[in-house]
Amino acid sequence: DGGITQSPKYLFRKEGQNVTLSCEQNLNHDAMYWYRQDPGQGLRLIYYSQIVNDFQKGDIAEGYSVSREKKESFPLTVTSAQKNPTAFYLCASSITQGPYNEQFFGPGTRLTVL
């Protein structure tokens, strides 16, 4: 059963701590993405990766870091430099061939800073 998994579903962080959100896909997609969703603001792109060992900053990359060591995995680290990290984080993947980009999303991780 193909899809995208994210863990944990809920995550609580104290101020000053780094946390890592997991994203795994078994769709054999080359491209993977991280978005942040806040109420009334839609989805904002944090980072994306089109191939293993390569990734690009999105619109709001400051305070975040990623790695892409395996095709299936694209973890996101929220560092202490991110001033307002409380949000819903969504991971997505897509193929890289074809004229348009249908992205498949995971169930999300809700991060709360205490």
Partner 1 sequence: QKEVEQDPGPLSVPEGAIVSLNCTYSNSAFQYFMWYRQYSRKGPELLMYTYSSGNKEDGRFTAQVDKSSKYISLFIRDSQPSDSATYLCAMSQTNDYKLSFGAGTTVTVRA
What H or E segment, with its residue span, contains residue 60?
none
Residue 36 burial by Cβ neighbours in a 10 Å radius (0-12, 13-18, 19+): buried
Shortest Cβ 86–partner 1 spacing (Å):
15
Binding site for partner 1 (CB under 8 A): 4, 31, 40-45, 48, 50, 58, 90, 92, 94, 96, 99-108, 110
Rounded Cα distance, 74 and 33, in Å: 8
Shortest Cβ 107–partner 1 spacing (Å):
5
Shortest Cβ 32–partner 1 spacing (Å):
10
Residue closer to partner 1 (CB basis): 49 or 82: 49
Tokens of 6: 């994210």
